[in-house]
Amino acid sequence: MEWVQPRDTMPDRAILQLHGGAYTRSLEDNGITYRRAAVQYSKLSGAGVLTVDYRVAPEHPFPAALEDALLAYKWLLDEGYQPEHIIIAGDSAGGGLTLAMTLYLRDHQMPMPAALITMSAWTNLNYKRWTPPYVGDEKQEEMRFWLMIPLGLQKKLRMQVFM
């Protein structure tokens, strides 16, 4: 885990950042990108940012990444951060992990964070077909379905979900 906070402050708010990388690339592999993002998030929000270097496949298959993300969230709670002052954010695989983690928290009656931010969340690991841009409208109806998912998720979780 890496912690970034604004200079000369002890923030009472935190962002838990979960990196992308197809569940196979570690923070070490992607580090500079996510370190820069953490610094920017902290500067813009005044919050502390905890970036999790969760375990990745193939050496550490599911649910290793989820377990590590949950440990990081519990660490924030143990450090005194209130759930209503925590945002969980992730992109790509980290976005999917953000959603999986939040569903786990809900299902286990654990304190829920204030909000989620996902960017290009990778949520369907079973999808095997690709639609190149030149195919056109072939997948249009299916895309409408996937655009509806955030609406249902936000209602189910009873919290703000930004995708």
Q: Using an 8 Å Cβ cutoff, are 45 and 9 in contact?
A: no
For residue 105, give the nearest of 72, 79, 81 by alpha carbon.
72
Residues 6+ apart with CB under 8 A from 56: 21, 23, 24, 25, 26, 64, 65
3-state secondary structure at position 145 = helix
Check 26, 42, 45, 92 and give the catalytic one.
Answer: 92
How far, in Å, CA of 81 to CA of 93, rounded? 25
What is the greatest pairwise CA distance in the chain?
54
Whether 120 sits among the annotated catalytic residues: the reply is no
103 burial type by CB count under 10 A (0-12 exposed, 13-18 middle, 19+ buried) = middle
Residue numbers annotated as active site: 92
